[in-house]
């Protein structure tokens, strides 16, 4: 399956992805408030609001919320790149933590280069 090229296409794919998740995993996307933000056919970006339930000490995003957002966005991306009937497996992941101004949502961008396998390049700001 190709990656979405329009936000409308991304929203439809994201809703399908969420519906296919087990009830618990679907609740995680709702708890995080994770939503499609942008896409261009080579990357997808999701947005997570800065909400009290997602904050750690100091009012910044908790690492649990950031890892959850990266995991769910990466799972969606890998599933799109791999196509139906294939199950992606993460073999390496990295994340950079930046100073947070605490002023707005976190936006995560994941790109994918799909050949025999998929690789992603995360970036959360």
Full DSSP string of the chain: -PPPSSHHHHHHHHHHHHHHS-HHHHHHHHHHT-EEEEE-SSEEEEEE---GGGB-GGGSBPHHHHHHHHHHHHHHHHHHHH-TT----------------SSS-EEEEEEEEESSSEEEEEEE-
* Three-state DSSP string of 21-51: CCHHHHHHHHHHCCEEEEECCCEEEEEECCC
Q: Could you tell me if residue 86 is inside a domain?
A: yes
More confident residue, 109 or 2: 2
Contacts of 51 (CB under 8 A, 6+ apart): 33
Q: Could you tell me if residue 19 is inside a domain?
A: yes
pLDDT in tens, 26-45: 688 888 999 999 998 888 88
Q: Could you tell me if residue 20 is inside a domain?
A: yes
Full-model pTM: 0.74
pLDDT at 6 (0 to 100): 95
Indicate which CATH number applies to the domain containing 23: 3.10.129.10
Domain count, the chain: 1
Q: Could you tell me if residue 2 is inside a domain?
A: no
CA end-to-end distance (rounded Å), the chain: 27
- Confidence category of residue 1, pLDDT binned at 50, 70, 90: low
């Amino acid at each position: 399956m190709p990656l979405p090229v329009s936000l409308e296409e991304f929203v439809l794919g994201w809703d399908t992805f969420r519906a296919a998740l087990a009830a618990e995993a679907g609740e995680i996307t709702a708890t995080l408030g994770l939503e499609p933000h942008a896409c261009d056919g080579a990357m997808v970006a999701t947005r997570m609001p800065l909400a009290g339930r997602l904050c750690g000490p100091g009012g910044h995003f908790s690492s649990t919320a950031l890892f959850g957002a990266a995991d769910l966005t990466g799972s969606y991306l890998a599933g799109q790149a791999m196509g139906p009937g294939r199950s992606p497996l993460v073999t390496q992941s990295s994340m950079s933590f930046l100073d947070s101004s605490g002023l707005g949502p976190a936006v995560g961008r994941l790109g994918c280069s799909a050949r025999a396998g998929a690789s992603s390049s995360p970036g959360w700001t």
